[in-house]
Amino acid sequence: MNNVVSCYQEDSVPDLSEDLENWMSRLPHELRQTPIIYLAIPGSHDSFTSAIRSDSELAPDAEDAIKKLSFLGPVLKAFMVKWARTQTYMAKDQLIRGIRYFDLRIGTRQGTQDLYIVHGLYSVTVQTCLDEISSFLDTHTQEVVILDFQHFYGFTQSDHDRLMQMVNKTFGAKLLPFTQHMNYVSLEYMTTQYRYQVICVYRSDASRFGQPLLWPSRTFPNPWPNTVSKRYLFEYLHHGLKNRPADTAYVTQCILTPPGWFIFKHLYCSLKKTCGIKLEEPRSTWIENQTPGANGLNIIIADFIELTDCRYVKEVINLNQKLLLNNKKY
């Protein structure tokens, strides 16, 4: 699809982040016709960890060293919770604040068939999150959500089958079937022509075989910087965008990942203070210098998306103004 976004004058470009709850619905027609792989879309990292508490149980993704210290009980968890929570809000409140891409780590739990959000400790059930998202979409019919099922812990094939059935049952006709031709998939195409509202990426290609409503990993490349260095992070992100595929989506992980030594050094602090807040200013500067489109920023994820009145979310959404100003051609 060779779309040309019509040219706007700088003083006539609207504030695209004025209504975060409905920002996709309110985009100018030119942007709603633009393939979503060329739009700037804000997402959250480890999206549903805000429900983790100091009395949460150890999850199957906890590192072996942590599991060996489980005898410390509440003392251990009191420290863990400060580093396991990457978000302040759950699904509904993130959606209201403009988040449209969700990153899910899922684990099984002994003694129950329920599947849970995990990040070292157990959060809420997956079904709880999916129900919140589905309810939001029912009342926001021009909004689109991307669900990225990234990691699976303690899973058998029957667990995968149960999760896939859960997704299909919850979203039904809202699910956009997988297509090789992502440059045809726009907000207009999804919500006006066909009433699709959910893209579900399932990063277990063997397990999702034969599921036409689930999208394979290769359609949403998602490289992980795995660093606590801000300088290395932005070098990594720059290199990734420079070399991103032109015909798929692309996820930029603008996050700092503290290794064990860093956590030990800042034991009485938290992920939010040491990584979330300290990354906010340099991330803002970096985002300001990005442009959506081919070889540009597409989906970006962050921790603690609400900082400074959702500044990150607003900045990402308003990057799409550059498409209007630049007469961008695909």
How does pLDDT run across 37-49, given as a tens digit for each residue? 999 999 999 999 9
Q: Secondary structure of 96-130 in the HEC alphabet? A: HCCCCEEEEEEECCCCCCCCEEEECEEEEEHHHHH
Where does residue 292 rank: exposed (0-12), middle (13-18), buried (19+ CB within 10 A)? Answer: buried
Tell me what the pLDDT averaged over the chain comes to.
94
**Residues 221-243, mean pLDDT to the nearest whole number:** 98
Q: Does residue 23 contact residue 31 with C-beta atoms inside 8 Å?
A: no
Which tokens sit at 3?
């779309």
Q: What is the pLDDT of residues 111-128, one digit of tens each?
A: 999 999 999 999 999 999
* 253 three-class SS: strand
Q: What is the pLDDT of residues 73-103, one digit of tens each?
A: 787 888 999 999 999 999 999 999 999 999 9
* pLDDT > 70 in the chain, percent: 96
Q: What is the pLDDT of residues 246-305, one digit of tens each?
A: 999 999 999 999 998 999 899 889 999 999 999 999 999 999 999 999 989 999 999 999
Active site residues: 45, 119
Looking at residue 196, its amino acid is Y
Helices within 198-297 (DSSP H only): 230-242, 260-265, 271, 277-288
Domain architecture of the chain: domains with CATH: 10-325 (3.20.20.190)
**Residues 201-208, mean pLDDT to the nearest whole number:** 92
pLDDT at 320: 98
